[in-house]
Amino acid sequence: MAMSRDGRPTIPRNSSVAGMPAPTFTGHRGLQLEEPLIFEQGQPGRSGVDLPDPPKVEHRMGTSVRTRPIELPGLAEPQVVRHFVRLSQKNYSIDANLYPLGSCTMKHNPRLNEKMARLPGFGDIHPLQPITTVQGALALIDEVAHWLKTLSGMPAVAMSPGAGAHGELCGLMAIRAAHVARGDARRRVLVPDSAHGTNPATAALCNYEVDGVPANKRGRIDLAALKAKLGGDVAAIMLTNPNTCGLFEDQILEVADAIHGVGGFFYCDGANFNALVGRVRPGDLGIDTMHINLHKTFSTPHGGGGPGAGPVVFSAPLAPFAPLPYVVHGPDGFALKEHDGGQAFGRLKAFHGQMGMFVRALAYMRSHGADGLRQVAEDAVLAANYILAGMRGVIDPTYPGPCMHEVMFDDSSFKSSGVTTLDIAKALIDEGFHPMTIYFPLIVHGAMLIEPTETESKESLDLFIGALRALITRAKARDSAGFQAAPRFAPVRRLDETRAARQPVLRWSPPQPKQAAE
């Protein structure tokens, strides 16, 4: 069987399911409607828009006028709507049920946020309008910045990064610039083995040598190993806190002292800020810079994989190196600093940042307030510990609690039965749940990282706990055959990832003429 690097099977194990109903004439199964690609549905002469004939003019496009037709299908609006509605019905969503993906913070997305982002005064303003015509937009960015600085206890924030990984880049580039400015260019960045893959990838992108730091037996960074790796060539450590095992790094002040002691900076991956928001300030933990995923902690929706937003907070020594552009308070209101940023390390994005996400985040912040945000962190941590407690007697957490906003289990209690973490995940799908994050972090074998968030009711948590208890109990009872067919109730069954990678088909192509197909 093909396996991925982390020991996860990538080819489905069997293809026949006893007791599956006979196929229907249409291929549909009740509300589960099959849907071909748009390219298989188009007809010449159909369109989903009515456009007037273009005014007759002599074109000014020189010799580069398009001469061949645009090979895209024509569909009328009812077909297009039906197509995308049918596709949507093949997706799981937080609006439908609990979405316990660890480190992803899949919380409820308030619709007020969507409504506010669509106000024409936010959604329909051009990034290069005269500054006098966008004072409200700059005020909004400034207000979001104020909330982020207050909640983090840091004096500065860069708003332009487009997502968490882009924020990591922003943080490391500021660190590089700060070292270069004092004539002290450095070459190594320390990254724990449990880190998100974006951390080492970002460090490499900044031309740093990545040096791994192991975890200790308690699932935290091994402080002695860290100290042994420190030296005058270390630019930074990138530490996630709470870490990717769902634990607070309880020696974080020592970590900060150690890195500062050699003239390095402390980068914190803020993916898990939901556990701390309103309660603990990263600035009080010795952190120099941290990205904040607005799509996680501040509930701008995940949108099937973006867009996100990853503002980055900075300590005073790094603040001067924040990238362009940024909002400044001028004599006649707000202004934008777009050029001559002094020590600014450069520009990360074409314009000023993910404005649409800022609007949503501010609606979320204002709705919760200082009191509500504190309750968010508390309820998120409470919910994760409730799941940890609810699994007692069936499976122990990888590390003893309390955990923070997510709880880690592994496959040690059932792997001898032949059931894998992947099997558990696929069986959860049949129970109506999105699986937890699996096989991450890499330091834990068969990891299952569960983050329920604060927006689940106790009843919802109880049902999830019940389902997971039943599955783990079955797995430990060596019922591996029962797992292999899962998922049985999803729109498709397990997919052949090996085939997808070995013979990549990355776009639709017109069917081959019959001759060639034979």
Partner 1 sequence: MRYLPLTDVDRSAMLGDIGAPSIEDLFRDVPVAARRARLFDLPLHAGELEVERHLSALAARNIAAGSVPSFLGAGAYRHHVPAAVDHLIQRSEFLTSYTPYQPEISQGTLQYLFEFQTQVATITGMDVANASMYDGSTACAEAVLMAGRVTKRRRIVLSGGLHPHYRDVVKTMTGSAGFTVDVAAADVFGEEDLAASIDKTTACVVVQYPSFFGHVRDYATLSAQCRDNGALLIVAVTEIVSLGALKPPGDMGADIVVAEGQSLGNGLNFGGPYLGLFTACTQYVRQMPGRLCGETVDADGKRGYVLTLSTREQHIRREKATSNICTNSGLCALAFCIHLTLLGGDGFGKLAAINHANAVMLADRLSGVKGVSVINRTFFNEFTVRLRSPAAPIVETLAARRILAGVPISRVYPERADLADLLLVAATEVTTTADMEALVGGLKEGV
Options 182, 329, 339, 514; binder of partner 1; rule CB under 8 A: 339
C-alpha distances out from residue 262 to 184, 222, 233, 239, Å: 12, 18, 8, 17
376 binds partner 1 (CB under 8 A): yes
CB atoms within 10 A of CB 187: 11
118 touching partner 1, by CB under 8 A: yes
Is the CB of 147 or the CB of 483 nearer to partner 1? Answer: 147
Regarding 169 and contact with partner 1 (CB under 8 A), the answer is yes
Distance of closest approach, residue 478 Cβ to partner 1, in angstroms? 22
Q: CB of residue 271 vs partner 1: minimum separation in angstroms?
A: 10
Strands ordered across the beta sheet of 265-269 = 156-158, 312-314, 289-291, 265-269, 234-240, 188-192, 209-213
390 near partner 1 (CB under 8 A): yes
Dihedral sign computed on CA atoms, order 21, 26, 29, 34: positive
The reply to whether 64 sits near partner 1 by the rule CB under 8 A is yes
Phi-psi region of 472 (alpha: psi -120 to 50; beta: other; left: phi over 0): alpha
Q: Give the burial string for 261-278 (b: 16+ CB within 10 Å, else e).
A: eebbbbbbbbbbbbbbbb
The nearer residue to partner 1, 19 or 416, going by C-beta atoms, is 19
Query: 3-state class of 9 per DSSP?
Result: strand
Q: Could you say whether residue 332 binds partner 1 (CB under 8 A)?
A: no
Question: From the CB of 413, what's the least distance to partner 1, in Å?
Answer: 21
Task: Please identify which residue in 250, 261, 343, 481 interacts with partner 1, judged by CB under 8 A.
Answer: 250
Contact between 253 and partner 1 by CB under 8 A: the answer reads: yes
Tell me whether residue 80 or residue 467 sits nearer to partner 1 (CB atom): 80
**Is the Cβ of residue 121 or residue 231 nearer to partner 1 in the bound state?**
121
Q: Closest approach of Cβ 422 to partner 1, in Å?
A: 10
Query: How many other C-beta atoms can be found within 10 angstroms of the C-beta atom of residue 458?
Result: 10
Give the DSSP letter of residue 336. E
Distance CA 475, CA 419 (A): 6
Of the candidate residues 240, 244, 297, 385, the single one contacting partner 1 (CB under 8 A): 385
Q: For residue 495, what are its two tokens?
A: 């997919």
Query: CB of residue 77 vs partner 1: minimum separation in angstroms?
Result: 6
Neighbours of 145 (CB within 10 A): 19
362 touching partner 1, by CB under 8 A: yes
Amino acid identity for residue 394 in this structure: V
The nearest distance, CB 166 to partner 1, in angstroms, is 6
How many chain residues bind partner 1 (CB under 8 A)?
212
Q: Is 302 in the site for partner 1 (CB under 8 A)?
A: yes
How far apart are CB 437 and partner 1 at their closest, in Å?
8
Question: For residues 433 and 430, what is the distance between their CA atoms, to the nearest angstrom?
Answer: 7
Q: Is 266 in the site for partner 1 (CB under 8 A)?
A: no
Residue numbers 6-25 binding partner 1 by CB under 8 A: 12-15
Out of 347, 415, 445, 469, name the contact with partner 1 by CB under 8 A.
347
- Tell whether residue 181 is a contact of partner 1 (CB under 8 A): no
Residue 100 structure tokens: 């316990």
Q: Pick from 158, 166, 164: which is nearest to 141 by CA?
A: 158
Nearer Cβ to partner 1 (229/374): 374
**Residue at 214: amino acid letter:** P
- The residue behind tokens 């009515």 is 50
Among residues 266, 319, 456, 468, the one that binds partner 1 under rule CB under 8 A = 456
Give the nearest distance from C-beta 288 to partner 1 in angstroms. Answer: 15
In the stretch 212-241, what mask flags binding to partner 1 with x, by CB under 8 A? ------------------------------
Beta strands 188-192; 209-213: pairing state: parallel
Q: How far is the CB of 337 from partner 1 (least distance, A)?
A: 12
Q: Is 101 in the site for partner 1 (CB under 8 A)?
A: yes
Binding partner 1 (rule: CB under 8 A), the pick from 19, 21, 63, 332 is 63
Question: Candidates 163-171, 259-267, 413-421, 471-479 — which segment interacts with partner 1 by CB under 8 A?
Answer: 163-171
Nearest Cα residue to 265 out of 181, 327, 151, 348:
181
Helix (H, G, I), strand (E, B) or coil at 210: strand
Distance, in Å, from the CA atom of 395 to the CA atom of 472, rounded to the nearest integer, reads: 7
Q: In this structure, how many other beta carbons lie within 10 angstroms of the beta carbon of residue 131? A: 17
Choose the stretch contacting partner 1; rule: CB under 8 A; options: 67-75, 224-232, 260-268, 471-479: 67-75
**Is residue 443 a contact point for partner 1 (CB under 8 A)?**
no
Out of 136, 155, 232, 466, the only residue in the binding site for partner 1 (CB under 8 A) is 136
Instruction: Check binding of 202 to partner 1 (CB under 8 A).
Output: yes
Question: Which residue in the set 351, 412, 416, 481 belongs to the binding site for partner 1 (CB under 8 A)?
Answer: 351
What are the C-alpha distances in Å from 373 to residues 8, 274, 369, 436? 37, 9, 6, 24
From 7, 9, 201, 476, residue interacting with partner 1 (rule: CB under 8 A): 201
CB of 231 to partner 1, least distance (A): 19
Tokens 């316990």, residue? 100
Q: Is 178 helix (H, G, I), strand (E, B) or coil?
A: helix
Asked if 512 is part of the footprint of partner 1 (rule: CB under 8 A), the reply reads no
At 334 the three-state DSSP class reads strand
Give the helix/strand (H/E) hosting 189: strand 188-192
Of the candidate spans 224-232, 408-416, 471-479, 483-491, the one that interacts with partner 1 by CB under 8 A turns out to be 483-491
What is the rounded CA–CA span in Å between residue 308 and residue 92? Answer: 19
Using CB under 8 A as the binding rule, the residues of this chain from 396 to 435 that contact partner 1 are: 401-402, 404, 425-426, 429, 434-435
